[in-house]
Amino acid sequence: MRRPAPQVPGRRRRSAAVLAGAGLTVAVAAAVGGVLAVGGTAGGAPDGRVSAVRAAAGATVVDPGAREEAPALAGDDLDGKPVDLAGFRGQVVVLNVWGSWCGPCRAEADGLERLSRQTRGDGVRFLGINTRDRDRAAARSFVRAHALGFPSLYDPTGELLLRFPPSLLNPQAIPSTLVIDRRGRIAVGIGGAVTEEQLRPLLTRVVEEES
Cα–Cα distance for residue pair 36/146, rounded to 1 Å: 31
In this prediction, residue 16 carries a pLDDT of 41
Residue boundaries of the structural domains of the chain: 1-38, 53-207
- Model confidence pLDDT, tens digit, residues 108-149: 999 999 999 999 999 999 999 999 999 999 999 999 999 999
Which pTM value belongs to this model? 0.77
Contact present, 193 and 56 (Cβ < 8 Å): yes
CB count within 10 Å of CB 175 equals 25
- Model confidence pLDDT, tens digit, residues 147-193: 999 999 999 999 999 999 998 999 999 999 999 999 999 999 999 99
CA atoms within 13 A on the CB side of 114: 10
- The fold of 53-207 is Glutaredoxin (3.40.30)
Residue 63 has pLDDT above 60, yes or no: yes
Query: Facing residues of 53 across strands?
Result: 189
Residue 83 has pLDDT above 90, yes or no: yes
CB count within 10 Å of CB 174 equals 21
SS3 186: strand
- Model confidence pLDDT, tens digit, residues 25-39: 333 233 323 222 223
In this prediction, residue 30 carries a pLDDT of 31
In this prediction, residue 162 carries a pLDDT of 96
Q: Over range 59-63, report the average pLDDT.
A: 96
